Amino acid sequence: MAEKMIGRYEIQGELGRGAMGLVYKAYDPVLERHAAIKVMTTSGEMDDELRARFFREARSAARLSNPNIIAIFDMGDDQNRPFIAMEFVEGEDLKALIRQRVFVPFGRKLEVISQICRALHYAHKQGVIHRDIKPGNIRLTPEGQVKILDFGLARLGASDMTRTGTLMGTPYYMSPEQARGARDIDGRSDLFSVGVILYEFLCYRRPFEADSPTAVCYQIIAEPHSPISAHLPGCD
């Protein structure tokens, strides 16, 4: 049965699915604006822990106020399902742009990366690390502005809420320390991921490719990637 309401929000359609839940486009009749609603759908014996982490991470993200970061409006619980209400932004993600091999001038590519870096610099100064920077979490508005999504999965640098052994993040864009399963990740890990995005944005191929997540992690840790100039002549 299709969702009609989540909290006070009127659901207008599904936007996507992630590891921790579903994302809907919604309308807030109280403030008369659209929002993106992320609903936690994970179930099982770890529900209490995941619920606590979900809200903790929402509070971390809500501390951030930056034009290049999706804003958190609200959070709550609907029929025992935690949710976060976020800023809704039109546009398409960088993943789609790369997949379609849309021509983007070199200077524009650097401006996109620059906006990402400025947003992360701000977040890191607030003690918030994203941990899953990837093209699918980078939205480009019709006006050309970058918006980083999914800071709802970020954790405070000092937080220790993740279960032992849990490896968070997208393998292709992981830093070496993430690939090793390290728990003491800092902002440098996000910057490594930005470097991988820049490589892919320029070459339309990722620096680390393999048949399984484990093999990708091994490449990141132990194998050198080919230089950008190997795929983009003249870029030394």
Residue 99 lies in a domain: yes
Q: How many CB atoms lie within 10 A of CB 101?
A: 8
Of 68, 87, 106, which residue sits at a domain end?
87
pLDDT at position 234 is 67
End-to-end CA distance of the chain: 55
pLDDT at position 157 is 38
What range defines the domain where residue 159 resides?
92-230
Q: How many domains in the chain?
A: 2
Regarding whether 206 and 104 lie in a shared domain, the answer is yes
| Residue carrying the six token digits 């809907």 | 24
From the candidates 28, 132, 150, 190, give the one annotated as an active-site residue: 132
Regarding whether 212 and 99 lie in a shared domain, the answer is yes
- Which 8-state DSSP code applies to residue 229? G
Check if the beta carbon of residue 6 is closer than 8 Å to that of residue 83.
Answer: yes
pLDDT at position 52 is 82
Regarding whether 24 and 9 lie in a shared domain, the answer is yes
Q: Is 211 a catalytic residue?
A: no
pLDDT at position 43 is 52
pLDDT at position 183 is 80
Q: How many CB atoms lie within 10 A of CB 22?
A: 18
pLDDT at position 174 is 93
Of 61, 87, 113, which residue sits at a domain end?
87
Q: What is the pLDDT along the chain (236 residues), one digit of tens a residue?
A: 467 999 999 999 999 886 667 899 999 999 999 999 988 876 554 467 777 888 888 888 898 999 999 999 999 988 888 899 999 999 999 999 999 998 999 999 999 999 999 999 999 999 999 999 999 999 999 999 999 998 856 553 334 344 444 445 569 999 999 999 888 889 999 999 999 999 999 999 999 999 889 999 999 999 988 888 888 776 66
> From CA 39, how far away is CA 43, in angstroms rounded?
12
Tokens read off for 40: 């936690």
pLDDT at position 158 is 36
Regarding whether 116 and 47 lie in a shared domain, the answer is no
Regarding whether 68 and 36 lie in a shared domain, the answer is yes
